[in-house]
Chain A
Amino acid sequence: DAGITQSPRYKITETGRQVTLMCHQTWSHSYMFWYRQDLGHGLRLIYYSAAADITDKGEVPDGYVVSRSKTENFPLTLESATRSQTSVYFCASSDGYVGNNEQFFGPGTRLTVL
């Protein structure tokens, strides 16, 4: 499928478990981003990547790990999930970082940590 996809779309896990959310884009965009959306907070940047093997922290990186071995994939791992990480997670990609470079968002992953 063309565009940006996320998997799984829904995930329920337990506190302390490791969870990986997948993101895949077919545009060969150099930049990729992970956001979380919580009520009252809008979308907050967790991590971003400017290219393969280059990643950097966003506003709320604690408890998350990212990697980018291939341009098209940008997985997000919660190494030991906590209830506060219950959220909707959005992946996005763009040609450039911000400004005139539009970010294209995936459909989101709804994660529940019990």
Chain B
Amino acid sequence: DQQVKQNSPSLSVQEGRISILNCDYTNSMFDYFLWYKKYPAEGPTFLISISSIKDKNEDGRFTVFLNKSAKHLSLHIVPSQPGDSAVYFCAGIDGSARQLTFGSGTQLTVLP
């Protein structure tokens, strides 16, 4: 049973447009969410996070939105750049287990 689901394995967006990556979760105990970005042949790198007490967190071109009632979060990238092409992982932290649970990832391709 996957507690964090990224239902879109891939997404293509034109340069300059908005990229929206979605993530759904089932564990009500998650109290913190993170997005990681991964380039080929490299390890994941932290991108942005959000606490469950907030519904939005912004960092430059990246904004994460959290809808707790729907158990859904999304990452918005505006404007998208070719260098943003990577795999994006959503992850949740269980308040009691204190472990990161990752989704399966979404491959974003930004077309020039």
User: Which residues of A pack against B, CB within 8 Å?
Assistant: 4, 35, 39-45, 58-59, 90, 92, 97-100, 102-108
Contact = CB atoms under 8 A, between A and B. Distances in A.
A40 B100 CA distance: 17
Interface of A: prevailing SS: loop
B43 A98 contact: no
Given A98-B32, A99-B93, A105 B44 contact: yes
Nearest to B6: A42
B67 interface: no
A92 to B, nearest CB: 7
B93 A43 contact: no
A42 B103 contact: yes
Nearest to B105: A42
Interface in B1-21: 2, 4, 6
A59 B99 contact: yes
